[in-house]
């Protein structure tokens, strides 16, 4: 026996931990959505990847945060954007972006806002036909009276717009003349 040494042998163990960071990946992507003005709406997606994950939401390329117009939550890898009251200005492209140390990923979809519009001539419903061209966009309702040089085009035209919160009415009286377009600008509908 050597002096100062024990008969027991000493073993040293080294543990090497390698963190395999997994970049974010959306396993449930955002989907295009059609919502009605005045009602609540939401968009949802689900992401996986190594923690910590940071998520951000964007509307038409501009980052949005939780507040009176948006409620943003992230629970159990579910990313949710809730809009308490849909307005016309909420239409557009929404993106959820997830970032961690291994990378970034995003998912995008369109949110289309619906307003119900009806047209009447002399209190009778009308729709797109060989006599009328009807268009509704995000902020405009258009009625084009075709062949407005004819006697039958004369009359009182009414545009009625509505949603869950109410509606509005616009009138126009038509006389003989050039082709006619009646525009109704939708703004400030709550």
Domains along the chain with CATH numbers: 25-114 (2.60.40.10), 116-185 (2.60.40.10)
pLDDT digits (tens, 9 = 90+) for 80-137: 999 998 888 899 999 999 999 999 999 999 998 877 788 999 999 998 888 888 887 6
User: Phi/psi at 12 (nearest 5 deg)?
Assistant: -115, 135
pLDDT digits (tens, 9 = 90+) for 136-152: 765 678 888 787 667 77
pLDDT, greater one: 144 or 51: 51
By C-alpha distance, which of 174, 59, 69 is closest to 126?
174
Dmax (CA) for the chain in angstroms is 125
Which of the four pLDDT bands, split at 50, 70 and 90, describes residue 51?
very high
């Amino acid at each position: 026996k050597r002096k100062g040494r024990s008969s027991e042998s000493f073993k040293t163990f080294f543990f090497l931990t390698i963190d395999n960071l997994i970049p974010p990946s959306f396993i449930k992507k955002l989907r295009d959505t059609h919502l009605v003005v005045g009602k609540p709406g939401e968009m949802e997606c689900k992401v996986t990847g190594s923690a910590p994950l940071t998520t951000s939401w964007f509307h038409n390329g501009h980052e949005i945060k939780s507040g009176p117009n948006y409620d943003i939550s992230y629970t159990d890898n579910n990313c949710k954007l809730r809009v308490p009251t849909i307005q016309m200005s909420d239409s557009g492209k929404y993106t959820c972006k997830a970032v961690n140390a291994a990378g970034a990923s995003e998912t995008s979809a369109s949110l289309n806002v619906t307003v119900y519009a009806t047209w009447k001539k002399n209190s009778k419903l009308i729709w797109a036909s060989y006599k009328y061209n009807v268009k509704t966009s995000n902020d405009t309702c258009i009625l084009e009276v075709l062949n407005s040089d004819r006697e039958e085009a004369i009359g009182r035209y009414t545009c009625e717009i509505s949603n869950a919160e109410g509606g509005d009415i616009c009138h126009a009286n038509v006389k003989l003349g050039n082709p006619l377009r009646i525009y109704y600008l939708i703004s400030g509908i709550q």
